[in-house]
A and B are shown apart, each in its own frame.
Chain A
């Protein structure tokens, strides 16, 4: 299909546009930094986003999207945005952005056979990515809450055990000492 070929050939430019959609969710001064600094260690946010989008693009335009690969590509970007000061909707809104970017490319391919089916496949891919991202985002938040709970528990637990103020069940091969 010519349109798919066109998208592949223009990948760099389209991913750049997609990157701009993500970056515009940050304040202007920060967006510039995230955009311009290509050192992956000095600018982990910008570079993580770039790497993720690059891989996601290959999947979103592929009628036979591999959900495993898509999920793996989504994880780093969603993981970053899950700890930033963004509402869940805003954190994940960038995924829908690709639909508009691709739609703008379609005009000269309108008459191509099967274009509608291909376009709806892309939309379905983007929707599936959004659902996967929702899962990842929720899992990240769950993980953060678990870390918070564990930290609160661990703060005094060892102390209580060592002072024999609480008595845990012993391992099965040792005798009960505290009773």
Chain B
């Protein structure tokens, strides 16, 4: 019989000490399960983006980079430094104060130093110093510079796809360095080499071709919304007949396609339909601009511009006055921060005015696009909605501020105001985890892909931890949000960390509470579940 090692020997053989290597010398772990699957080349080709020399895998040694990859990266970097003053400032100005270091949910959850925003930026900054600064050229590593190698490219791929571009770190940076924009530049440079991930590029290509991420064809889009109307008739007794691609409608409504095909977003869509019917809104849906999301934001500024343009082109074609936008996250960052200088000003549209209350949405005067939470909050404030919040009584609700509507739009009060009017039980999570300091769901910016579920779960831990606190303290059992990626990402996150908590869109709860004219007595909510817990139990 072979001699077995004693437990103590085994235990003592475990090396807890960190290798004393510098961060530059610690390669990223690119074994299977540690990276997002790379994009299929056909997606790059469809979008006229550069490609690698063949299909590749991060787990393999050869990434099939173009022969002149160094020149491509260097020239791409130079072009961006010339084009974006912000990038140049971000590269030069960091004093490594460390204020951002422990603010990233991926660092908090993983403990990987390269997930500290300062170090993530350093991945790019070290190359900047080497190639574009005199001190870096002369002093090399002493000045924090390093040479561009294939290993650097691999490191970029690993860590720029471990950033959800949530911008929490930028809230704490005394210089206002926006690490999300650094990640965006890193991803742009990688895309120049044909390196991108399938979960981003496939939706982007589908959106470019078919108008939405999944490639839902116009007739299927219509069929699915009609299907919601059938369900709504069963639940409320009221028949709704929305219009599609109707020229001359006052308002074009655009929401993420996730609300059309993925639960629980579908219930949010049903909430929108009830709301518009309730107030008699003159609106139309588009089967061409059938996507609010913009995965171009996660690819390149050029791609973001192309995908954003279709919404405005459709608004122009239909001759609407302005655009009402649904519950989406990054769509609002694109609209609020980039649209005006990409495709704006949208001066063929009118400055948005609520046809029901007469309120002018001054904040949207330039983009001509209003967030539905603002729109609904205004309706409630002006007493235009008949609501019965007791229909949501079985839900003890908290609110997750989605990164982009909160940090890119400053929208904090409107969703809470709506929630407090449509539910009787609402509790905020602790300070430091909400509003502008909100923790990301861990799956934004195209990382909501199943192959990196472990990473998503540890990145989402800080969010889930705060939800668990209000669950334990107040019995919270429902997490409301205003983002389609949240509605897809938060259910598995809750399932793992706080399984007693469900996930809902804001307008699902609005839809439950709305008292429709001519409705039958409501016994079910929009999920076709009994309205109260007691009925739930009787059912069982």
Contacts and interface: CB of A to CB of B under 8 A. Distances in A.
Given A25-B16, A45-B109, A151-B450, A144 B457 contact: yes
Contacts of A25: 16
A83 B432 contact: no
Contacts of B469: 40-41
A44 B266 contact: no
B113 A79 contact: no
Interface stretch (A5-13, A53-61, A110-118, A157-165): A157-165
B228 to A, nearest CB: 9
Contacts of B18: 27-28
Contacts, number: 121
Contacts of B432: 39, 41-42
A89 B10 CA distance: 11
Given A21-B16, A24-B16, A93-B11, A40 B261 contact: no
A140 B457 CA distance: 11
A155 B261 CA distance: 8
B110 interface: yes
A144 B108 contact: no
Contacts of A159: 214, 216, 220, 224, 261
Contacts of A29: 101, 113, 116
Contacts of B109: 44-45, 83-84
A85 B102 contact: no
A64 interface: no
The interface size bin for chain B is: 35 or more
Interface residues of A, number: 46
B424 to A, nearest CB: 26
A106 to B, nearest CB: 15
Contacts of A28: 18
Contacts of A109: none
A147 B453 contact: yes
B11 A144 contact: no
Given A44-B108, A85-B29, A158 B102 contact: no
A79 B458 contact: no
Nearest to B119: A29
22 contacts: A24-B17, A25-B16, A30-B111, A34-B111, A41-B432, A42-B108, A44-B108, A44-B109, A79-B497, A83-B455, A83-B461, A83-B496, A85-B110, A96-B7, A143-B495, A148-B453, A151-B450, A151-B453, A155-B262, A159-B214, A159-B261, A162-B224
Given A84-B109, A93-B11, A143-B496, 10 more contacts: A34-B111, A42-B108, A44-B109, A45-B109, A83-B458, A83-B461, A147-B453, A154-B262, A159-B220, A163-B223
